[in-house]
Amino acid sequence: MKVDGKQMRPIWFDKDTETVQVIDQRFLPHQLIIRELTHVDEVIEAIQEMVVRGAPLIGATGALGVYVILVQEGNQGMDDAWFSRQCDRLKNARPTAANLCWGVNRVQAKVLEQTSHDPRVQAALNEALAIIEEEADNCKKIGVHGRVLIQEIAGRNPGKPVNILTHCNAGWLACIEYGTATAPIYTAHDAGIPIHVWVDETRPLNQGARLTAWELGKHGIAHTVITDNAGGHLMQHGRVDLVIVGTDRTTRAGDVANKIGTYLKALAARDNDIPFYVALPGSTFDWDITDGIRDIPIENRDPDEIRYVQGWHNDEITQVRITPEDSPAANHAFDVTPARLVTGFITEKGVCDASESAITALYADRFKTDV
């Protein structure tokens, strides 16, 4: 999408320097800093430290990470066992994201079809770039399908903006283009439907206040930042027409792992009869599990992400401590919203109910080829 008139993506392969480049999202919205990833350790660090974040982007970064493993300095003596170990390290960088394993596995398989170094490098790059274009295309399609839902609401309330609440950042920064949760928003806005977005700030790392607000502002979409506490109150008072969130991993039965706090918004949406949709590409479904609360591992991150808040002060990024010095904190990064609270999924293949039968029917062709 556009940033100050210039087309940008959160990750790209620079053909001139033959390097992988990413936006360092930790500095947004205050500074736009680009980083080069030239070693698998840098790729892992970028994923773990959330230089890059968001399910599809993590998948894309993992995919290009396999290319980085093949071309990084010091890998001259590599054998298949070493290569496999590096791929495993990459896959374990963040435990909740289904796309990471998926992206790495897909490129790794293409690499292992080749037996010598240069074809392997080329295979890795080709497959990673193919994944990236597929993700971009998926998001575009999610936008087209999701726009219909927004159009319906707009049709019922002529002249009034459609109020959409979203949690965290499932925008283009988390994907490649359009985003997942934001794809219907961008697509509807670009089609002239009046939109206003309630942006949950999304503690602890404030991806909503920092990234979603930045994205929407750069695209000229009306939005208001709210605390994570506020959504229920707004829904009670008829100020939310629709909730759309992304997901890091969704079971085949429709249980949705997403940024911590998503479950609370789903409960409030249900209590106030407001549709609650989850936007995702097929790559985010985990076809091996059904019970998300039992089976999706939830990442525990550094408690200092709770104890400290990062922001802009005196023209630089500054961290302030909000808790007493000796108070401990716990940082569960995700929660699971049970399928019973989800109105439906917006995917690249269309919209479906949150049930195993509806999901597997929508991806029937996938089952024929992949499973």
**Nearer to a second copy among residue 124 and residue 274 (C-beta):** 274
107 versus 221: smaller Cβ distance to a second copy: 221
Between CA 240 and CA 230 the distance in angstroms is 11
SS3 74: coil
**Given the complex with a second copy, which of 125 and 243 has the nearer CB atom?**
243
Peptide bond into 303 cis (omega under 30): no
CA–CA separation, 140 and 68 (whole Å):
27
39 is written with which tokens? Answer: 């070693």
Min. distance of Cβ 15 from a second copy in angstroms?
Answer: 31
Q: How far is Cα 113 from Cα 184, in angstroms, rounded to an integer?
A: 38
Q: Which long-range contacts (CB under 8 A, 24 or more apart) does 80-84 make?
A: 80/112, 83/111, 84/108
- Distance, C-alpha 115 to centroid of its chain: 34
- The tokens for 300 are 């525990």
Question: How many Å apart are CA 296 and CA 286, to the nearest integer?
Answer: 9
- Min separation Cβ 310 and a second copy, Å: 7
Q: How far is the CB of 226 from a second copy (least distance, A)?
A: 5
Residues forming contacts to a second copy in the complex (CB under 8 A) are 29, 198-199, 201-204, 206, 209-210, 213-214, 217, 223-234, 236-237, 259-261, 263-265, 267-268, 271, 293, 298, 306-313, 318-332, 334-336
Alpha-carbon torsion (306, 311, 316, 321), positive or negative: negative
**DSSP assigned state of 355:** S
Q: What are 200's strand-pairing partners? A: 226
- Least distance to a second copy from the beta carbon of 182, Å? 15
126 vs 229 by CB, closer to a second copy: 229
Q: Which residues pair with 337 in a beta bridge?
A: 256
When the beta carbons of 6 and 237 are compared against a second copy, the nearer one is: 237
Q: How far is the CB of 99 from a second copy (least distance, A)?
A: 21
Separation CA 37–CA 22 (nearest Å): 8
What residues are annotated to the active site? Answer: 248
CB of 148 to a second copy, least distance (A): 28
Q: CA-CA distance, 213 to 198, in Å (whole number)?
A: 9
Q: Under 8 Å CB-to-CB from 222, ≥6 apart: which residues?
A: 161, 195, 196, 197
Our CB check for a second copy shows the closer of 109 and 317 to be 317
Q: Which is nearer to a second copy, 60 or 216 (CB)?
A: 216
Alpha carbon distance 21, 173 (integer Å)? 13
Who's near 349: CB < 8 A, 6+ residues apart?
A: 141, 282, 362, 363
Distance CA 107, CA 104 (A): 5
* Min dist. Cβ of residue 61 to a second copy (A): 24
134, 144, 168, 137: which is closest to 351 by C-alpha? 144
